Amino acid sequence: MLPALRPFLFGLVLMPLVKRVAKPVLREVVKASVGIALDVKNAAADARAELQVIAAEASAEHPPAKAVRWTP
């Protein structure tokens, strides 16, 4: 038998089985990663909103600074 024929036939026979098993697994991996990405996005949006509230409270506690006129 030719040296390259045996691995080729092995792959040809096993490819449908691997495809049948790997496709659902990969689908679940993609679903999970998309879910994680959405969770991270929502957490970042919540953190941003919280920081905006903190910044607004901090700026409300301090009076606005006087404008300084610069003359050369």
pLDDT at 53: 96
CA atoms within 13 A on the CB side of 53: 6
The answer to whether residue 1 scores a pLDDT higher than 70 is no
Q: What is the residue-averaged pLDDT of the chain?
A: 88
Distance CA 50, CA 44 (A): 10
Q: Output the pTM of the full model.
A: 0.59
Sequence-distant (≥ 6) Cβ neighbours of residue 40 within 8 angstroms: none
Q: Where are the domains of the chain?
A: 24-51
Average pLDDT over residues 2-30: 87
Distance CA 46, CA 51 (A): 9
Each residue of 18-72: pLDDT tens digit? 889 899 999 999 999 999 999 999 999 999 999 999 999 988 888 777 777 877 7
